[in-house]
Amino acid sequence: ISCFLHCCVAPMWLYAVLALAVLWVAVWLWRDSLVIDKVSNKYVFVTGCDSGFGYVLCKKLERHGFQVLAGCLTQKGADDLQRGTGPNLKTILVDVTDASSVKMAMQWVQKETGGKGLWGLVNNAGRSVPMGPTEWMRTEDFHSTLRVNMMGVIETTLAFLPLIKKARGRIVNVASVLGRLAANGGGYCISKFGVESFSDCLRRDIHYFGIKVSIIEPGFFKTAVTSLEPIEKELHRLWNQLDPEVRDSYGEKYFEKYIKLQRFIMNTFCDPDLSKVTNCMIHALTAKYPRTRYSAGWDAKFAWIPFSYAPAFIVDSMLSAVLPRPAQSCS
């Protein structure tokens, strides 16, 4: 009898755990589906709106009824964005690497919001090049990317933070799966790791004021950041500036295979559906309980993010198997 009772009790514990798990998932899904109301009087400022995620996001936010303030780098980008949109979308030229430009944009937003404060700040501006083997880089090559992707996020956030505090709003920072797993040299991965860290620290520091901070971690998508032309152009520049001794240690075949690898990755794995990213951004701005992190894209959810938790030797081995081998390698 005791053996029979023991056999019955064990499944009961399993059923209880399963029931709690199902209940937790149901509550999470319900909580995740709750949204704010009255968005028509809420202002959102987005950087990097000339193309890509920022461009698509601004169009969607306007359709949602938000008052959209878009920061573009070029006049052409601003004109293209405003074409076919209504009065609820306004643009301004802003360079996130220029403190005076960011300050002017903040003052413009302050005037546009009329003392209501800023509900949302989306730090989307970014660049990817130059990227390549670390030894091919010079210090200024790192600086050019870090100034936009990391320091630009910090500069813009600190400038707009008083407006965000006034509205008890949201800050949405665009990082990357390469901010969770560094797969190539150059400033891009470093900058995205920096955005992750800055966002975590910021979230913990300012949650007392009712401000929510979310991180978007896109996988590979077809945007200007993944465009092959500038990537290849910069790789040729890096290769040509190398000392002959360093160039010989890699060999011409390494360079050719590296270029082919970039073409294969960008042509095969880049998703053209940018809504997978912009939908995450919109959720972060409209949900009552926005998530801390959003993994956008199937490659992010099922490859990059899971791999980021793997032991270093496994990740190193996988990347080494994909990358070409230098001519003078020791192994």
Q: Which residues are catalytic?
A: 188
Q: Which of these, 65, 53, 55, 89, lies nearest to 286 by C-alpha position?
A: 65
- Helix (H) or strand (E) holding 309, with range, is none
- Helix (H) or strand (E) holding 113, with range, is helix 99-113
Measured CA to CA, the distance from residue 188 to residue 132 in angstroms comes to 10
Residues 6 or more apart whose Cβ sits within 8 Å of residue 229: none
Residue with token string 């600086």: 143
Residue with token string 């400038």: 159
Residue with token string 């009329």: 114
Cβ-based neighbour number of residue 324 at 10 Å: 17
Cβ-based neighbour number of residue 12 at 10 Å: 9
